[in-house]
């Protein structure tokens, strides 16, 4: 169980990832409407089954995806001066496997399963696979 400490709730600067996961799965268990919109599954926020999106970008390919969107905007508006700011997102993504192992290493298998159940439809809807680091930690048959 997580502990509500007022300074932690105000700043969040001392919250460990495993505590954050406990907080999210606890609120989801209490009731879907209890979830803060920042932690709600994306398919419930952007309604991909009800809105015919012509493009869905991913953080992992943010630079290319943003450039694609900006090219389309420029083509349709004759405004060619808009550029996506250069970022080092590619280098951050190269370390994501290490970060996943580090962050999920202390999260209980039970809570990882609860997270995957909560976000399973997002994985399916947006074309993501369960990361290998999490897959190794679990027997995915537990999710279904």
Q: Would you say residue 66 lies in a domain? A: yes
The rounded Cα 78 to chain-centroid distance in angstroms is 34
Regarding whether 111 and 82 lie in a shared domain, the answer is: no
The answer to whether residues 35 and 74 belong to one domain is no
Asked if 21 and 15 count as a contact pair (C-beta separation under 8 A), the reply is no
Domain that holds residue 71: 53-93
Q: pLDDT for 33-43, tens place per residue?
A: 778 889 999 98
What pTM did the predictor assign?
0.70
Q: Summarize pLDDT for 110-128 with one digit per residue, the tens.
A: 999 999 999 999 999 888 8
Are 123 and 79 within one domain? no
What is the spatial distance between Cα 75 and Cα 71, in angstroms, rounded to a whole number? Answer: 6
Residues in Cβ contact with 24 at an 8 Å cutoff, skipping those fewer than 6 apart: 35, 39, 115, 118
Instruction: Domain count for the chain, please give it.
Output: 2
The residues of the chain scoring below 70 in pLDDT are 1-9, 80, 86-95, 139-144
136 and 69 part of one domain: no
């Amino acid at each position: 169980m997580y502990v509500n400490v007022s300074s932690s709730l105000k700043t969040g600067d001392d919250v460990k990832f495993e505590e954050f996961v406990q907080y999210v799965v606890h609120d989801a268990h209490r009731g879907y409407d209890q979830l803060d919109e920042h932690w709600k599954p994306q398919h419930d926020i952007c309604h991909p089954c009800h809105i015919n999106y012509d493009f869905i970008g991913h953080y992992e390919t943010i630079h290319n995806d943003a450039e694609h969107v900006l090219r389309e905007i420029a083509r349709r508006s004759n405004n060619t001066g808009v550029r996506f700011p250069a970022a080092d997102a590619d280098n951050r993504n190269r370390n994501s496997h290490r970060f996943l192992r580090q962050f999920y290493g202390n999260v209980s298998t039970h809570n990882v399963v609860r997270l995957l159940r909560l976000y399973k439809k997002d994985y399916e809807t947006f074309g993501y696979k369960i990361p290998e680091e999490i897959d190794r930690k679990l027997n995915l048959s537990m999710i279904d």
